Amino acid sequence: MAVGIAPGINREDQWHMSRSKVEWSDAAKAAKEKCKAEPYNAKAWYDLGCILEEESLWRESVDCFSMALIFDPFNADYYMHRGHRYLSIGEVASFTADFEMCLRIDPKNWWALYYIQEGFTAMGYFDKAEEYCKRLWEISDENTQFVDAVAVWYCEALGRNGKWDKYNEIINTPFLVKMMDDPETKTPYIGRLRFMAGRVSDEEMLKRLDEIPADHPMADAMFCGTAWALIDKWYSKGETAKADELCAKAAKRDKNTWQLTAYFLSYFEAKRRGLID
Protein backbone atom coordinates (compact mmCIF):
# COMPACT_ATOMS: atom_id res chain seq x y z
CA MET A 1 0.00 0.00 0.00
CA ALA A 2 1.40 3.38 -0.98
CA VAL A 3 2.05 5.83 1.83
CA GLY A 4 2.10 9.57 1.26
CA ILE A 5 4.44 11.87 3.17
CA ALA A 6 2.96 14.94 4.79
CA PRO A 7 4.72 18.28 4.22
CA GLY A 8 7.43 18.96 6.78
CA ILE A 9 7.88 15.34 7.83
CA ASN A 10 11.47 14.17 7.42
CA ARG A 11 13.15 10.83 7.82
CA GLU A 12 14.88 11.74 11.09
CA ASP A 13 11.52 12.45 12.72
CA GLN A 14 10.20 9.01 11.82
CA TRP A 15 13.15 6.63 11.82
CA HIS A 16 13.50 7.16 15.56
CA MET A 17 15.02 3.88 16.69
CA SER A 18 18.60 5.11 16.75
CA ARG A 19 21.32 2.66 17.69
CA SER A 20 24.15 3.19 20.14
CA LYS A 21 27.67 4.09 19.11
CA VAL A 22 29.10 2.14 22.06
CA GLU A 23 31.92 -0.19 21.04
CA TRP A 24 30.86 -3.84 20.90
CA SER A 25 32.70 -6.37 23.06
CA ASP A 26 34.93 -9.02 21.54
CA ALA A 27 32.27 -11.63 22.35
CA ALA A 28 29.62 -9.63 20.50
CA LYS A 29 31.90 -9.13 17.50
CA ALA A 30 32.64 -12.87 17.37
CA ALA A 31 28.94 -13.70 17.57
CA LYS A 32 28.25 -11.23 14.77
CA GLU A 33 30.80 -13.00 12.59
CA LYS A 34 28.95 -16.26 13.17
CA CYS A 35 25.72 -14.59 12.04
CA LYS A 36 27.49 -13.42 8.89
CA ALA A 37 28.76 -16.95 8.24
CA GLU A 38 25.38 -18.57 9.03
CA PRO A 39 22.79 -15.87 8.22
CA TYR A 40 19.79 -18.24 8.41
CA ASN A 41 20.81 -19.67 11.79
CA ALA A 42 18.13 -18.46 14.23
CA LYS A 43 20.12 -19.58 17.27
CA ALA A 44 23.16 -17.59 16.14
CA TRP A 45 21.07 -14.41 15.97
CA TYR A 46 19.50 -15.23 19.33
CA ASP A 47 22.92 -15.75 20.93
CA LEU A 48 24.13 -12.41 19.58
CA GLY A 49 21.00 -10.75 20.94
CA CYS A 50 21.64 -12.24 24.38
CA ILE A 51 25.20 -10.91 24.41
CA LEU A 52 24.07 -7.43 23.37
CA GLU A 53 21.30 -7.29 25.96
CA GLU A 54 23.81 -8.17 28.67
CA GLU A 55 25.82 -5.16 27.48
CA SER A 56 22.68 -2.96 27.67
CA LEU A 57 22.62 -2.50 23.90
CA TRP A 58 18.89 -3.05 23.86
CA ARG A 59 17.85 -1.65 20.51
CA GLU A 60 20.57 -3.68 18.86
CA SER A 61 19.44 -6.79 20.68
CA VAL A 62 15.86 -6.20 19.46
CA ASP A 63 17.21 -6.31 15.90
CA CYS A 64 18.92 -9.64 16.59
CA PHE A 65 15.89 -11.27 18.21
CA SER A 66 13.81 -10.09 15.25
CA MET A 67 16.24 -11.83 12.92
CA ALA A 68 16.01 -15.00 15.03
CA LEU A 69 12.21 -14.88 14.76
CA ILE A 70 12.37 -14.59 10.98
CA PHE A 71 13.96 -18.03 10.87
CA ASP A 72 12.20 -19.56 13.89
CA PRO A 73 8.88 -17.68 14.19
CA PHE A 74 7.21 -19.96 16.76
CA ASN A 75 9.91 -19.84 19.42
CA ALA A 76 8.34 -18.54 22.65
CA ASP A 77 11.71 -17.81 24.24
CA TYR A 78 12.70 -15.51 21.38
CA TYR A 79 9.49 -13.50 21.85
CA MET A 80 10.19 -13.29 25.59
CA HIS A 81 13.68 -11.91 25.03
CA ARG A 82 12.63 -9.40 22.40
CA GLY A 83 9.67 -8.36 24.53
CA HIS A 84 11.88 -7.67 27.53
CA ARG A 85 14.13 -5.49 25.45
CA TYR A 86 11.18 -3.59 24.01
CA LEU A 87 10.27 -2.90 27.63
CA SER A 88 13.81 -1.65 28.24
CA ILE A 89 13.44 0.95 25.50
CA GLY A 90 9.93 2.01 26.47
CA GLU A 91 8.12 0.38 23.54
CA VAL A 92 5.23 -0.80 25.72
CA ALA A 93 2.80 -1.93 23.02
CA SER A 94 5.53 -3.93 21.25
CA PHE A 95 6.59 -5.48 24.56
CA THR A 96 3.02 -6.51 25.32
CA ALA A 97 2.46 -7.88 21.82
CA ASP A 98 5.57 -10.07 22.05
CA PHE A 99 4.53 -11.49 25.40
CA GLU A 100 1.06 -12.13 24.00
CA MET A 101 2.65 -14.12 21.16
CA CYS A 102 4.77 -16.01 23.68
CA LEU A 103 1.61 -16.99 25.56
CA ARG A 104 -0.18 -18.03 22.38
CA ILE A 105 2.67 -20.49 21.84
CA ASP A 106 3.13 -21.43 25.52
CA PRO A 107 -0.10 -20.50 27.40
CA LYS A 108 1.20 -21.42 30.86
CA ASN A 109 4.57 -19.71 30.59
CA TRP A 110 4.86 -18.39 34.15
CA TRP A 111 7.31 -15.62 33.37
CA ALA A 112 5.34 -14.37 30.39
CA LEU A 113 2.21 -14.17 32.56
CA TYR A 114 4.25 -12.43 35.24
CA TYR A 115 5.46 -9.67 32.95
CA ILE A 116 2.64 -9.12 30.47
CA GLN A 117 0.40 -7.53 33.09
CA GLU A 118 3.00 -4.77 33.44
CA GLY A 119 2.43 -3.75 29.84
CA PHE A 120 -1.34 -3.67 30.21
CA THR A 121 -1.02 -1.71 33.47
CA ALA A 122 1.31 0.81 31.84
CA MET A 123 -1.21 1.30 29.03
CA GLY A 124 -4.11 1.60 31.48
CA TYR A 125 -5.86 -1.60 30.40
CA PHE A 126 -6.53 -2.80 33.92
CA ASP A 127 -9.15 -5.35 32.87
CA LYS A 128 -6.52 -7.13 30.76
CA ALA A 129 -3.96 -6.80 33.57
CA GLU A 130 -6.44 -8.46 35.91
CA GLU A 131 -7.12 -11.27 33.44
CA TYR A 132 -3.45 -12.21 33.18
CA CYS A 133 -2.78 -11.75 36.89
CA LYS A 134 -5.66 -14.11 37.63
CA ARG A 135 -4.19 -16.73 35.30
CA LEU A 136 -0.81 -16.34 37.00
CA TRP A 137 -2.28 -16.51 40.52
CA GLU A 138 -4.09 -19.73 39.63
CA ILE A 139 -0.85 -21.51 38.74
CA SER A 140 1.07 -20.14 41.74
CA ASP A 141 1.11 -21.18 45.39
CA GLU A 142 2.96 -20.41 48.61
CA ASN A 143 6.09 -22.14 47.31
CA THR A 144 6.22 -20.13 44.09
CA GLN A 145 9.13 -17.75 43.80
CA PHE A 146 7.91 -14.12 43.83
CA VAL A 147 4.37 -15.12 44.82
CA ASP A 148 4.30 -11.94 46.94
CA ALA A 149 4.85 -9.93 43.76
CA VAL A 150 2.10 -11.88 42.00
CA ALA A 151 -0.29 -10.97 44.80
CA VAL A 152 0.68 -7.30 44.59
CA TRP A 153 0.06 -7.08 40.84
CA TYR A 154 -3.21 -8.98 41.09
CA CYS A 155 -4.52 -6.76 43.88
CA GLU A 156 -3.31 -3.68 42.04
CA ALA A 157 -5.42 -4.62 39.02
CA LEU A 158 -8.40 -5.56 41.18
CA GLY A 159 -8.22 -2.23 42.97
CA ARG A 160 -8.11 -0.27 39.72
CA ASN A 161 -11.18 -2.20 38.59
CA GLY A 162 -13.00 -1.53 41.87
CA LYS A 163 -13.23 -5.21 42.83
CA TRP A 164 -12.58 -4.70 46.53
CA ASP A 165 -14.18 -7.93 47.75
CA LYS A 166 -11.81 -10.00 45.61
CA TYR A 167 -8.96 -7.67 46.54
CA ASN A 168 -9.55 -8.36 50.25
CA GLU A 169 -9.88 -12.09 49.59
CA ILE A 170 -6.44 -12.19 47.97
CA ILE A 171 -4.80 -9.95 50.58
CA ASN A 172 -6.13 -12.25 53.32
CA THR A 173 -4.89 -15.47 51.74
CA PRO A 174 -3.54 -17.42 54.77
CA PHE A 175 0.00 -17.93 53.50
CA LEU A 176 0.27 -14.23 52.57
CA VAL A 177 -0.97 -13.23 56.02
CA LYS A 178 1.66 -15.51 57.54
CA MET A 179 4.35 -13.86 55.42
CA MET A 180 3.15 -10.39 56.45
CA ASP A 181 3.07 -11.43 60.13
CA ASP A 182 6.72 -12.52 60.08
CA PRO A 183 8.83 -9.48 61.08
CA GLU A 184 11.88 -11.12 59.50
CA THR A 185 10.27 -11.02 56.07
CA LYS A 186 11.32 -7.69 54.62
CA THR A 187 11.10 -8.04 50.86
CA PRO A 188 9.81 -4.96 48.99
CA TYR A 189 6.70 -6.81 47.85
CA ILE A 190 5.83 -7.98 51.36
CA GLY A 191 6.24 -4.37 52.43
CA ARG A 192 3.85 -3.37 49.66
CA LEU A 193 1.33 -6.02 50.76
CA ARG A 194 1.48 -4.74 54.33
CA PHE A 195 0.61 -1.29 53.03
CA MET A 196 -2.15 -2.62 50.79
CA ALA A 197 -3.57 -4.58 53.74
CA GLY A 198 -3.75 -1.41 55.84
CA ARG A 199 -0.94 -2.35 58.22
CA VAL A 200 1.04 0.73 57.15
CA SER A 201 -0.68 4.11 56.86
CA ASP A 202 -0.48 6.67 54.09
CA GLU A 203 1.12 9.04 56.59
CA GLU A 204 3.89 6.55 57.32
CA MET A 205 4.57 6.12 53.60
CA LEU A 206 4.73 9.90 53.12
CA LYS A 207 7.11 10.13 56.06
CA ARG A 208 9.35 7.55 54.38
CA LEU A 209 9.43 9.71 51.26
CA ASP A 210 10.52 12.72 53.29
CA GLU A 211 13.25 10.72 55.03
CA ILE A 212 15.04 9.61 51.84
CA PRO A 213 18.54 11.22 51.87
CA ALA A 214 18.77 13.63 48.94
CA ASP A 215 22.40 12.67 48.30
CA HIS A 216 21.79 8.92 48.28
CA PRO A 217 22.84 7.47 44.87
CA MET A 218 19.55 5.57 44.66
CA ALA A 219 17.38 8.36 46.08
CA ASP A 220 15.15 8.48 42.99
CA ALA A 221 14.68 4.71 42.99
CA MET A 222 13.77 4.75 46.68
CA PHE A 223 11.34 7.61 46.06
CA CYS A 224 9.60 5.90 43.14
CA GLY A 225 9.27 2.56 44.92
CA THR A 226 7.42 4.14 47.83
CA ALA A 227 5.57 6.73 45.77
CA TRP A 228 4.07 4.20 43.36
CA ALA A 229 2.33 2.38 46.21
CA LEU A 230 0.59 5.63 47.18
CA ILE A 231 -0.09 6.66 43.58
CA ASP A 232 -1.76 3.37 42.74
CA LYS A 233 -3.84 3.38 45.93
CA TRP A 234 -5.02 6.95 45.48
CA TYR A 235 -6.04 6.41 41.85
CA SER A 236 -7.89 3.25 42.87
CA LYS A 237 -9.72 5.12 45.62
CA GLY A 238 -10.59 8.09 43.40
CA GLU A 239 -8.21 10.50 45.16
CA THR A 240 -7.06 11.77 41.78
CA ALA A 241 -5.65 15.17 42.69
CA LYS A 242 -3.24 13.73 45.27
CA ALA A 243 -2.27 10.91 42.94
CA ASP A 244 -1.65 13.28 40.02
CA GLU A 245 0.65 15.48 42.08
CA LEU A 246 2.79 12.61 43.33
CA CYS A 247 2.75 10.78 40.00
CA ALA A 248 4.11 13.82 38.18
CA LYS A 249 6.92 14.07 40.75
CA ALA A 250 7.80 10.38 40.48
CA ALA A 251 7.85 10.49 36.68
CA LYS A 252 10.62 13.08 36.82
CA ARG A 253 12.82 11.09 39.20
CA ASP A 254 14.73 9.24 36.50
CA LYS A 255 18.26 8.97 37.90
CA ASN A 256 19.09 5.25 38.21
CA THR A 257 15.37 4.48 38.05
CA TRP A 258 14.22 4.25 34.46
CA GLN A 259 14.62 0.46 34.37
CA LEU A 260 12.62 -0.05 37.58
CA THR A 261 8.98 -1.08 37.55
CA ALA A 262 7.78 1.62 39.96
CA TYR A 263 9.33 4.38 37.86
CA PHE A 264 8.17 2.80 34.61
CA LEU A 265 4.55 2.60 35.79
CA SER A 266 4.64 6.11 37.26
CA TYR A 267 6.04 7.50 34.03
CA PHE A 268 3.45 5.92 31.76
CA GLU A 269 0.62 6.77 34.15
CA ALA A 270 1.75 10.38 34.04
CA LYS A 271 2.04 10.29 30.24
CA ARG A 272 -1.48 8.87 29.85
CA ARG A 273 -2.92 11.53 32.09
CA GLY A 274 -1.08 14.42 30.44
CA LEU A 275 0.90 15.23 33.58
CA ILE A 276 4.23 15.31 31.73
CA ASP A 277 5.23 15.94 28.12
- Local confidence band at 3 (pLDDT 50, 70, 90 cut-offs): low
- Local confidence band at 259 (pLDDT 50, 70, 90 cut-offs): confident
| Long-range pairs for 90-93: beta carbons < 8 A, 24 or more residues apart | 92/119, 92/122, 92/123, 92/268, 93/119, 93/123
Q: Are 146 and 114 in contact (CB under 8 A)?
A: yes
Mean pLDDT of the chain: 94
- Local confidence band at 106 (pLDDT 50, 70, 90 cut-offs): very high
Span 68-89, mean pLDDT?
Answer: 95
Between these two residues, 216 and 17, which has the higher pLDDT value?
A: 216
Specify the pLDDT at position 22: 85
Listed range (43-47, 188-192, 255-259) with the worst mean pLDDT: 255-259
pLDDT in tens, 9-50: 777 777 666 678 889 999 999 999 999 999 999 999 999 999
- Local confidence band at 246 (pLDDT 50, 70, 90 cut-offs): very high
Q: 1.10.275.10, 3.20.20.110, 3.40.50.12280, 1.25.40.10: which CATH number matches 25-107?
A: 1.25.40.10
